[in-house]
Amino acid sequence: MSDDVRHAFEHPEVRAAATAGDAPRDRISLRDHKVAVEIGAFQAERGATQTISFNIVVEVVPLTGPVDDDVDRILSYDRITEAIAIELTAERLNLLETLAERVADRILQEPQARRVFVRIEKLDRGPGALGVEIVRARSDTPVEGPADGEVPHPLVAFISNAAMASERLTQVIDGLVSESKPLILCVEYPEAAVPQSASVAAQRRIDLLALEQKAWELAGRDARYAVVGTRTELDWAMKNGQICVWAPSKIVLDAVGGPEAAPRQSLALAAWFAAEMQAIELVTVGVTPPSITLPTREIRLEGTV
C-alpha cells in the first residue's frame, strides 16, 4: 500500500505530520468525538438523529517564552468542541462537507490556529463509517468574522389575508420601504382549502408549500419583490436593498429544533422567523400583533399608514 493511500485512512494527526514540511508546528487534536444529530440530504434522514464522529487536528503557532501553565496562552480543547456545537445548533445541514467547512472556518478564527484537519464520519449509515475530510489553512479563510454591526437587522412585516385583498397594500408597503430598513414580508396561511394528509410530516410539507404559493402570489404583484427561501439569499438581498418575500420551507425544515408554531399558525411562525433574523421590529398589517419579546407595531387597513 502506498504512503498516500495509507495516510488517507490514518487519523488526521498522521496526515498533518506527513504534510508538515520542514517547519512542523505544534498540534492539538480531538479524537473520536461523537455527537447524535439530525443531518442528511435524504428524506429518510429527516426527523431522526444519527451518530457522527469528529476527528480534528489543529496546527498552532508555537508559544514563545514559558507556558506558565496558563490556559489563556493556548488554544483550548474546549474551543474545538465549542466550534462543533455552535455549527451543529446553528441550523440543520444536509451535507457533511458543509459542516466540515463551517467547523474549520470557525476554528481558524482562533488567533493561534494556522491549519486545521477536519474529518467527519457518519457511523449509522452502514456497516462502516462514511465520511469526509478537509484541510484548510489560515490563508483559506477570513481571519475575522463580520462584526455584529455589519449584520442586517430587518423589519419583518406580516401581511394578513385581509391586507392581501386590500387596495391599500402597495401604499402600506411603500410606507415601510420609506423607513430605509431591510424589509422582509411574510404572508398569512391561505383561506382556500389545501390537500390533507394523514401523515403529520406530509401535512407539514403541504402547509409550508401552501404558504410559499401565497408568497409567490404576493411577489407577482410587484416587480420589486423577490421570493427568498435561504438565509444566504436573505442576507445578500437585505444588504442590496431587495424587498424579500419569505418562502419558509427550507429555513423551517433546516432549523435545529424548529419552531413550535405550525405553518397554519402563520403569525406565530412569522414571529419565530423575526426572532431568528434578529429583526428590529415585527410589523403586522391588518391583524393584531402577538405578544412577543421583539418590538411590534400594527398597521390598520382602515386608518392612515
Domain spans, the chain: 3-140, 148-299
At the topology level of CATH, where does 3-140 sit? Answer: GTP Cyclohydrolase I, domain 2 (3.30.1130)
At the topology level of CATH, where does 148-299 sit? Answer: Carbamate kinase (3.40.1160)
pLDDT digits (tens, 9 = 90+) for 62-76: 766 665 555 556 688
Least confident of 4-18, 38-52, 126-140, 157-171: 4-18
Q: What is the pLDDT of residue 21?
A: 62
Amino acid (1-letter code) at residue 194: V
Strand spans (E) along the chain: 26-37, 50-60, 113-122, 130-137, 155-159, 183-187, 225-228, 243-246, 281-285, 296-299
Residue 1 binned pLDDT confidence (cut-offs 50, 70, 90): very low
Average pLDDT of span 217-222: 94
pLDDT of 291 over the 90 cut: yes
Identify the sign of the CA torsion 8, 12, 14, 17. positive
Residue (of 239, 106, 255, 135) closest to 182 by Cα position:
239
Q: What is the pLDDT of residue 221?
A: 92
Selected residue with higher pLDDT from 122 and 10: 122
pLDDT of 281 over the 90 cut: yes
Residue 199 binned pLDDT confidence (cut-offs 50, 70, 90): very high
Average pLDDT of span 103-115: 92
Domains 3-140 and 148-299 share a fold: no
